[in-house]
Amino acid sequence: MTGTDPDVGRLVVSCTDQPGIVACVSSFLYRRGANIVQSDQDSTGPAGGRFFLRIVFHLPGLDKELPRLEREFRQEVAARLDADFRFRAASVPTRVALFVSRYDHCLLDLLWRARRGELPIEVCQVVSNHPDLADEVSSFGVAFEHIPVTRATKPEAERRQLGLLRDSVDLVVLARYMQILSGDFLDRIGVPVINIHHSFLPAFAGAGPYEQAKERGVKLIGATAHYATEELDEGPIIEQDVVRVSHRASARELARRGADIERTVLARAVTWHCEDRVLVNGRTTIVF
């Protein structure tokens, strides 16, 4: 179903696995005139495991129906199943803030894909701890805010970032942003944060993964898109990819080869998150 049809909605549900979940959810939608056009589900185990469900449905007049659907689903289904759930209109783009430092390849790739309509996002704001990319971002017609960060000024910088973004974005994407976000920021921003790490995690977490890769003599390098948590590079992994490299490649050449992987991995992760295909299961994810 296209992302532009205003009558297409998505519902994601997660709860303790138990008999009757699909019957309960599908009959709720059926009784309200919705036509289920796609359904994916998975369970981590029938005995007390976690059940995950993603449904795409068509319902004429969806935008007017959503508040009632949410209210009645909460009362009639979620309360009974003790389920977490989310309804979304597929045609509404996800409002995104992009964080960047000096490396431009992931940022410009996302801006370019968004301008071409390849990503279901609206880039509302770019935030950077360096001024270098202001002109390039402005050329896309996107607001750019330079908020310098040092170890000493990080709390004040994060207060400025929160003041700029809170309640106006649905997702933050760290496009090679080279500052560690505090747990307080992650709690207060109130939306998911996706980071692109330039290694095939769990290998080479932290700073300088290409230098670590060169020193280790690996034959594959990679990139990992994950949700950012307080523990650096330990968040639930959304997408990864790798590319073969030769022993002749310098760390600089590894970084150049790796940049292509970073871009595609981040774009896939942002797309799948915004299409509600990614459900977090503890330290891991389920991607439908």
Ligand X SMILES: Nc1nc2c(c(=O)[nH]1)N[C@@H](CN(C=O)c1ccc(C(=O)N[C@@H](CCC(=O)O)C(=O)O)cc1)CN2
**Residue 60 CB coordination number (10 Å):** 11
User: Which CB, 12 or 149, lies closer to ligand X?
Assistant: 149
Q: How far is the CB of 120 from ligand X (least distance, A)?
A: 24
- Report in angstroms how near the CB of residue 201 gets to ligand X at its nearest: 9
Where are the alpha helices (H) located in 42-176, listed in sequence order? 62-73, 79-81, 105-115, 134-138, 154-165
Return the closest-CA partner of residue 278 out of 228, 236, 240. 236
Q: Are 89 and 6 in contact (CB under 8 A)?
A: yes
Nearest to ligand X of 82, 187 (CB atom): 187
Local structure of residue 180 (DSSP, 8 states): P
Rounded distance between C-alpha atoms, residue 239 and residue 218, angstroms: 20
Q: Which is nearer to ligand X, 182 or 250 (CB)?
A: 182
Closest CA to 273 of 201, 172, 188, 199: 172
Is 63 a residue of the active site? no
- Burial of residue 85 (CB within 10 Å: 0-12, 13-18, 19+) is middle
CB of 40 to ligand X, least distance (A): 28
30-34 — which CB contacts under 8 Å span 24+ positions?
32/59, 32/65, 32/69, 32/72, 33/59, 33/60, 34/9, 34/58, 34/59
d(CA 194, CA 98): 10
Q: Shortest approach of ligand X to residue 50 CB, angstroms?
A: 23
**Which residues in this chain contact ligand X in the complex, by CB under 6 A?**
174, 177-181, 186, 195, 197, 206-207, 228-230, 232-233, 235
For ligand X, the closer of residues 53 and 237 by Cβ is 237
CB 133 to ligand X: min, Å: 15
- Between 73 and 177, name the residue whose CB sits nearer to ligand X: 177
Provide the minimum distance between the beta carbon of 3 and ligand X in the complex, in angstroms, as a whole number. Answer: 29
Looking at the chain, how many residues does it have?
288
C-alpha span between 146 and 254 (Å, rounded): 29
Q: In what order do the strands lie in the sheet with 84-89?
A: 35-43, 50-58, 8-16, 84-89
Closer residue to ligand X in complex, CB, 55/126: 126
Catalytic entry in 63, 233, 241, 276: 233
Which positions are catalytic? 233
